[in-house]
């Protein structure tokens, strides 16, 4: 089965691309981030017509997340329980014995900003909740736009971008707190092309020059690690006429 995550940077704009991509890449569960639309504007009919179910958690202008799936999910959770948040960033559901959490992590703006402090608090709350979820769900996927790189391999310019947003020690410590729960970065389980990134700035011909970051991740529990057979970043949609700045990341699981 295929599990995927994609920050679409406005689902209204990118819906045709998402439907095209699903038609070409049959996917069991696709997590979307940055819907940038309210719940009443979610294109549920278009997904239904394409043979997909959906759960969504929208917000005006900013954020917004969804899970698109072949079968309907149960035990739906929106945002991090117990963590007060005005922003729609997390959606979780269970498909068979698979627990899926889709998340749009805070950007953080700059290391000395209020938004960075919020990012740190949010990451602490996420860790505590995911730890709890893992006690109930041995087969768990935590995927989305993390807005954090793991290391220099995930950066097009490790020297110039050292300690900048998405690449600070503080953010990486919080990311490690997630992997310390026993979660694995599925992308690095497999041999990957050099300079693999999942996001490229729209400016400065970032994609064409492959000046990107790998900030979209699929983390998995040990039971799923045993089933993982591939994880790839699909750069094809980034070559579309009006692309998202992110590319989808796809994990393949065997039985």
Partner DNA sequence: ATGTCACTCGCGGAGTGA
Report how far Cα 239 is from the mean position of its chain's Cα atoms. Answer: 20
* Interaction mask 177-216, DNA, x per CB under 7 A: -------------------------xxx------------
The smaller minimum CB distance to DNA, of residues 136 and 209, is found at 209
Interface with DNA includes 252 (CB under 7 A)? no
Active site annotation includes 145: yes
- R_g (Cα) of the chain, nearest Å: 17
- Interface with DNA (CB under 7 A), residue total 17
Q: What's the burial of 184, exposed, middle or buried (CB within 10 Å: 0-12/13-18/19+)?
A: middle
115 scored as a contact of DNA (CB under 7 A): yes
Q: Single out the residue of 60, 136, 162, 239 in contact with DNA (rule: CB under 7 A).
A: 60
Residue 170's Cβ-count burial label (10 Å; 0-12, 13-18, 19+) is: middle
Piece of 10-18, 73-81, 170-178, 188-196 that binds DNA (CB under 7 A): 10-18
Taking a C-beta distance cutoff of 8 angstroms, is the pair 31, 4 a contact?
Answer: yes
Q: Does 72 bind DNA (CB under 7 A)?
A: no
Give 26: exposed, middle or buried? Use CB within 10 Å, 0-12, 13-18, 19+. exposed
Query: Catalytic: 104?
Result: yes
Does 16 bind DNA (CB under 7 A)? Our answer is no
Check 28, 52, 95, 104 and give the catalytic one. 104
The sign of the dihedral angle between the CA atoms of 169, 172, 177, 182 is negative
Six token digits for residue 158: 């490790």
DSSP characters for 181-195? TT-EEGGGGS---SS
**Residue 242 interacts with DNA (CB under 7 A)?**
yes
Taking the least distance from each CB to DNA, the nearer of 109 and 176 is 109
Catalytic annotation, pick one of 28, 145, 216, 245: 145
Listed in sequence order, the residues at least 6 apart from 126 whose beta carbon sits closer than 8 Å to its beta carbon are 80, 83, 90, 103, 105, 178
Minimum Å gap between C-beta 89 and DNA is 10
Residue among 106, 144, 212, 237 that touches DNA (CB under 7 A): 106
Indicate whether 62 belongs to the interface with DNA (CB under 7 A): yes
Q: Active-site positions? A: 104, 145
- Positions in the binding site for DNA (CB under 7 A): 9-10, 12-13, 36-37, 60-62, 106-107, 109, 115, 202-204, 242
């Amino acid at each position: 089965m295929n599990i995927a995550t994609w920050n679409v940077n406005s689902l209204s704009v990118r819906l045709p691309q998402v439907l095209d991509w699903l038609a070409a890449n049959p996917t069991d569960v696709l997590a979307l981030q940055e819907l940038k639309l309210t719940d009443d504007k979610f294109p549920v009919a278009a997904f239904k017509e394409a043979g997909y179910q959906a759960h969504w958690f929208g917000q005006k202008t900013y954020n917004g997340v969804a899970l698109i799936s072949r079968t309907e999910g149960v035990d739906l959770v929106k945002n991090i329980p117990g963590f007060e948040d005005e922003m729609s960033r997390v959606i979780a559901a269970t498909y068979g014995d698979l627990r899926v959490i889709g998340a749009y992590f805070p950007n953080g703006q700059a290391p000395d900003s209020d938004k960075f402090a919020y990012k740190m608090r949010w990451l602490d709350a996420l860790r505590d909740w995911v730890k709890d979820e893992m006690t109930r769900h041995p087969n768990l996927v935590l995927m989305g736009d993390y807005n954090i790189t793991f290391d220099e391999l995930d950066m097009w310019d490790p020297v110039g971008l050292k300690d900048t947003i998405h690449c600070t020690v503080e953010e990486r410590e919080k990311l490690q707190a997630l992997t310390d729960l026993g979660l694995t970065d599925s992308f690095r389980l497999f041999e990957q092309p050099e300079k693999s990134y999942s996001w490229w700035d729209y400016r400065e011909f970032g994609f064409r020059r492959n000046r990107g970051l790998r900030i979209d991740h699929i983390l998995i529990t040990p039971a799923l690690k045993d089933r993982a057979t591939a994880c790839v970043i699909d750069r094809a949609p980034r070559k579309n006429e009006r692309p998202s700045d992110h590319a989808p990341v796809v994990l393949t699981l065997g039985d």
